Amino acid sequence: MQKEIETLLNNQIKLEGTASMQYLSMASWAEENGFNGIAAFFYKQAEEERMHMVKLIKFVNERGGKAIIPVLDNIPDKFDSVDHLFSTFLESEQKVTNHVNEIVFQCLELKNYTVHNFMQWYVAEQLEEETLARTILDKLNIIGNDKGGLYLFDKDLETFEIEQEEN
């Protein structure tokens, strides 16, 4: 494996690990504040990001590289509101998307089509994640400061999580 690509993949491993821990922190905040549906959503997101990280670790090792298990920076644990949670969620996903795109670009530059092909799954996944984050933020904008709307939104996310598990 080319060193440049290995470095980029290890950076992606760290981004996925950071996102996982950040989403755990967000789930905990939501749970502490009585938003069980939002907490369930972020617990699921945290696990998904962890799986993305593990997939990358295995890939790097299988391709003859050395995956580096990241030491994570301080993860924020204070949030101002539900809106803050989901705007942070979108920002995190955009950061991951930008880095995925950088890896794909470098793969093409270095003619590393094996890693390029592997990364296409991440390209599609990031499209889904950003769309989900934007859709949720749109719904929160519609709700505004309506506590009843926020209550129903939380319940909808709880139902969404149950439906996702069944599929």
16: annotated binding-site residue?
yes
126: annotated binding-site residue?
yes
Q: What is the dihedral of CA 48, 4, 130, 15, to 10 degrees?
A: 50
Asked whether 13 and 57 are in contact (CB, 8 A), the reply is yes
Asked whether 23 and 145 are in contact (CB, 8 A), the reply is no
| Alpha carbon 19 to chain centroid, angstroms | 5
CA–CA dist 10, 26 (Å, integer): 24
Residue 87's Cβ-side half-sphere holds a number of Cα atoms within 13 Å equal to 8
Asked whether 34 and 140 are in contact (CB, 8 A), the reply is no
CA–CA dist 45, 58 (Å, integer): 20
84: annotated binding-site residue?
no
Q: Which residue has the tokens 């996982």?
A: 20
Report the binding-site residues for Fe cation.
Answer: 16, 49, 52, 93, 126
Report the binding-site residues.
Answer: 16, 49, 52, 93, 126
